[in-house]
Structure 1
Amino acid sequence: MSSFFDGIELPAAADFHVHLRDDRMMEAVTPTIRQGGVDTVFVMPNLVPPVTTVSAALDYKKRLQAIEPNVSYLMSLYLHSSITPDTIREAKRAGIAGVKSYPAGVTTNSSSGVVDYESFYPVFAAMEEVDMVLNLHGEAPPSSSTTTDPMKQITVLNAEEAFLPTLKSLHERFPRLRIILEHCTTAAAVEAVKQCGPNVAGTITAHHLFLTIDDWAGDPINFCKPVAKLPSDRVALLKAATSGDPKFFFGSDSAPHLLSAKKGLSDGGLGAGKCAAGVFTQPNVLGFVLEAFDNALQVGIVKESGLGHERVQGFLGGYGRKFYGVPQATRKVRVKAGGMNVQNVTVGGQSGNEAGMNDTVVTFRSGKPTYAVEWI
């Protein structure tokens, strides 16, 4: 690996999109947050059942804090028909940071998601009133296999672009509402975020800075929703992440699944033979982003001027902390190039050869060298 960032010190990163699951998976992956150089996370609410009440969100936070108390957990609610304007006001008083919208059926544990955004306008108005963030999984639901109208044929490849008019419509109707288009994967999404006002931002994952279509087609470990797109889209993401534009910041969408579920060998609620959508990056997120920036520098996608400390620190936490109104980092980390090889995570206390497919979470770029992170 190249080593442009070898030996530098950075503020602790903030990851504004993480899946920490529950039960034994939660116990296995929550300790990897700090391993990845992160001290603040925005936690997704798509548990089973989803987190739709303030009490459930606060209880979830307590469970996470019991495992790793040295992380700041920003909690969220799952946008659901049971959410009312009064729920939003209660959530704001309780310190809940945002509300996550999943279009129904587009990704893991999204069966209870949104079918009609207009029905939630009173909720969005309350969120605008109390200044709470709306987090959008930006994909349109898949179309029926019998649809013949080309304009209504939605697949994993165009689902994000098909969603962008919804983003623009929500922003126009609620111009003071803070909105995040999460895990942007296309040049079109980057441009849509840019065209909206300062209350609209976009998060970018580590794995989408590496992957294109050919990397996940046939490879379940790299399969996620939204899927990685064209090489030109990856270039657009790299340029946005290194642009110094505060509208773009880091959210890993790290999503752990057991290897058996990734290979479609266990049901996991998906149905027989279905590959679980999600890429697990949590233990190495800071290293992966720096490695992606290294690679972009090597091939001329970005210049050294785009990798100055201010821009890198901004993308890795500074811009997102400001958007969410949370304190800037007080701790620092030092990174070392090639200081470690990426390791998988085992669930349930087993390790090494004892861990089978029902105990193993395969980490993105498993076995490859990446930056090591040291807390200072």
Structure 2
Amino acid sequence: MTDTITLSRPVADFHVHVRDGDMMKLVVPTIKSGGVSLAYIMPNLVPPLTCVSDVLAYKSRLEAIDPTITYLMTLYLSPAITPQVIHDAAKAGITGVKCYPAGVTTNSEHGVASYAPYYPTFAAMEQHDMVLNLHGECPSGNHVHVLNAEQEFLPTLKDIHTRFPKLRIVLEHCTSAAAIQAVKDCGPTVAATITAHHLFLTIDNWAGNAFNYCKPVAKFPTDRQALLEAATSASAKFFFGSDSAPHPIANKEKGNGAAAGVFTQTHVAAYVAEAFDQVGKLDRLNGFLCEFGRQFYNVPQEKPTNWTVVLKKQQNVVPALLGQGPCAVAPFKAGETLNWKVEIVDMAT
């Protein structure tokens, strides 16, 4: 029985929310403690990051907190993201552009209502080899609701891919068997991230439990099984993106609707090891966590690390809270005992 796993290199998390201000100061130090050395940072701040200088300033704030992490940065797709901005962003080393459908999730009010106006931007991204990150849902209304919003979006994914076949596209945080199949059906320039929490959750786990509520929502047991099979398949089309999203407890308990997001950053590698262990696929862990995402993104250079990640099979109680006061955040599975624990090992010793 495997009870110790040394990863080939630290985890690459290709979907990370760390917010700004006091929340950023609380959350950024937990990136490394979860086993991660490369973090792909989302741009849905308030206001959103829609110009190159703001993205670079944000990166500087992150590096001031933990300069050892490699931060890959993104822009927020909006009318401000013109082909010229894409040119400037590529020159500045910005990796991708995140597309939020208007109103579907946290801080998406400035998001996209129609994709056709962005075709020139997508063409420029294709030319500069930047990545398009899609939050794959249609806004609710008429026949669309939280349980079919992802499936209703999939024709849009396929249409963008057909129009721009060389554009690298990531369908973020897949939650359904239909999304997994759609990614498989597309060519090699389309991949997907799968979160840690969606490897555990189904609709029963978030209905009535705000701390497990995220967008897109977890769906049915058959969908969860499809996510597990994809994550453990050793297919390079599927790699890790935590979508770890910190919200103050007060925002998860609001009477007018809980904020969408599950916070996993502190234990990400342990959560994924737990899920892979449950289906007897620990031998597939390294590719999913460490290798496939780096390959898809063609990560040119990372900051050197003098530490490695060792996963040990031992009891690991998830704390009830991270932080205190107005920014206190409840981690995923707060108070529960995991069977795996992340250890950061200093190679210099």
Determine if the TM-score, normalized by the shorter chain, exceeds 0.5. yes
* Residue 361 of structure 1: aligned partner: 329
Once superposed, what is the RMSD of the aligned Cα atoms? 1.4
Residue number in structure 2 paired with 1:112: 110
Q: How does 1:273-292 map to 2 (within 5 A)?
A: 273-292=256-275
Q: Distance in 2 between matches of 1:32 and 1:177?
A: 32
Partner Cα distance (1:319, 1:296) in 2:
20
Q: Secondary structure at the match of 1:361?
A: coil
Quick one: distance in 2 between partners of 1:59 and 1:346? Answer: 26
How far is 1:5 from its partner? 4.7
Q: Which runs of 5+ in 1 are unaligned?
A: 148-152, 265-271, 298-305
1:372 maps to amino acid:
K
Q: Which position in structure 1 is the counterpart of 2:120?
A: 122
Tell me: CA distance 1:182–1:240, structure 2 relative to 1, closer, same or farther (3 Å).
same
Query: CA offsets, 1:261-320, max 9 Å, x none?
Result: 1011xxxxxxx52110000000000000010112233xxxxxxxx432xx3211102000
Q: Is the 8 A contact 2:276 2:285 kept in 1?
A: no
Q: Is the 8 A contact 2:273 2:282 kept in 1?
A: no
Distance 2:187 2:102 in 1: 27
Cross-structure match for 2:232: 242
User: Which residue among 247, 262, 281 is the counterpart of 1:257?
Assistant: 247
Unaligned segments of structure 2, at least 5 residues: none
Deviation, structure 1 residue 336: 1.6
Deviation at 1:6, TM superposition (A): 2.2
1:316 is aligned to 2:314: no
Aligned to 1:155: 145
Q: CA deviation at 1:60?
A: 0.3
8 Å CA contact 1:79, 1:114 repeated in 2: yes
Following TM superposition, where does structure 1 have runs of at least 4 consecutive aligned residues deviating by more than 6 angstroms?
none
Task: State the distance in 2 between where 1:5 and 1:180 align.
Answer: 32
- The whole-number CA distance in structure 2 between the counterparts of 1:49 and 1:359 is 19
| Deviation (angstroms), 1:369 | 2.1
CA contact (8 A) 1:107 1:225 kept: yes
Q: In 2, Cα distance between the equivalents of 1:75 and 1:20?
A: 12
Alpha-carbon contact 1:212-1:230 (below 8 Å) kept: yes
Deviation at 1:359, TM superposition (A): 3.7
Q: 1:46-61 maps to which residues of 2 (within 5 A)?
A: 46-61=44-59
TM-score (norm 1): 0.88
Distance 2:234 2:260 in 1: 30
- Distance in 2, matches of 1:366 and 1:288, equals 12
Cα offset, 1:335, TM superposition: 1.4
C-alpha deviation, 1:344, in angstroms: 4.1
* 8 Å contact from structure 1 (residues 344, 360) kept in 2: no
Structure-2-length-normalised TM-score: 0.95
- Give yes or no for contact 1:184–1:202 (8 Å, CA) kept in 2: yes
Task: State the AA in 2 paired with 1:341.
Answer: V
The equivalent residue for 1:267 is: none
2:31 corresponding residue in structure 1: 33
- Provide the rounded CA distance (Å) in 1 between the counterparts of 2:184 and 2:139: 24
DSSP-derived class of the 1:17 partner: strand
Deviations 1:163-194 (A, max 9, x none): 00000000000000000000000000000000
Identity %: 57
* Residue in 1 that maps onto 2:341: 372
Matched-pair contact (CA < 8 Å) for 1:5–1:290: no
* Structure 2 counterpart SS, 1:8: strand
The aligned counterpart of 1:341 is 317
Equivalent AA in structure 2 for residue 6 of structure 1: D
Contact 2:33 2:344 in 1 (8 A): no
Q: 1: distance between equivalents of 2:88 and 2:42?
A: 19
SS of residue paired to 2:4: coil
Amino acid at match of 2:190: V
- 1:307 and 2:282 correspond: yes
Equivalent-residue separation in structure 2 for 1:47 and 1:91 (angstroms)? 18
Residue number in structure 1 paired with 2:185: 195
Question: How many residues were matched structurally?
Answer: 340
CA distance in 2, matches of 1:129, 1:317: 27
**In the TM superposition, what is the alpha-carbon distance from 1:157 to its structure 2 partner?**
0.2
Residue number in structure 1 paired with 2:204: 214
**Cα deviation digits, residues 202-233 of structure 1 (max 9, x gap):** 00000000000000000000000000000000
